[in-house]
Amino acid sequence: MLRPMVETVKALGRKRFTIQYPEEKESLPDSYRSMLKLDMSTCISCSACAIICPNQTITMVEVPTDRGIKKMPQIGIERCLFCALCAEVCPPKCLTLTKNYEVLEAYDKREFIKRPEELE
């Protein structure tokens, strides 16, 4: 009965194992895939990315551009596998995966739905 209390007091004096948030970013491997980036000027609204997505994460939404209204991909990051199939199948290569992992944290899950304007 006394042993758990002794162990608790000992634990208070030990050095912490974790860091709250590192001062510098970790070096990521070349194969690391994270947030998608969209070049809206080269997107041809072909919907190939939405068709190939295994989780139906990508939906095409209407976006006003200088040439009129175009359909562009909207990404639901909360369901994305980061498999890169959408980037591979994109004819003009306007969708790419970045190494930016800091945008994958949010307080509200609605923030994980990224409109085309937010993917630039």
pLDDT at residue 74, as a whole number: 93
Q: Is it the case that residue 17 has pLDDT exceeding 70?
A: no
Each residue of 55-82: pLDDT tens digit? 999 999 999 988 889 999 999 988 999 9
pLDDT at residue 21, as a whole number: 65
User: Sorting pLDDT into bands at 50, 70 and 90, what band is 53?
Assistant: very high
Q: Per the confidence metrics, is the pTM higher than 0.75?
A: no
pLDDT at residue 65, as a whole number: 85
User: Long-range contact list for 32-35, CB < 8 A, 24+ apart?
Assistant: 32/99, 33/82, 33/84, 33/97, 33/99, 34/82, 34/97, 34/98, 34/99, 34/100, 34/101, 34/103, 34/104, 35/77, 35/97, 35/98, 35/100, 35/101, 35/103, 35/104
Q: Where are the domains of the chain?
A: 28-119
Instruction: Find the mean pLDDT for residues 24-49.
Output: 87
On average, the pLDDT of the chain sits at: 87
In the CATH hierarchy, which top-level class contains the domain 28-119?
A: alpha beta
For residue 58, give both structure tokens: 């990508």
CA–CA gap between residue 23 and residue 57 (Å, rounded): 33
Each residue of 87-112: pLDDT tens digit? 999 999 999 999 888 778 888 888 88
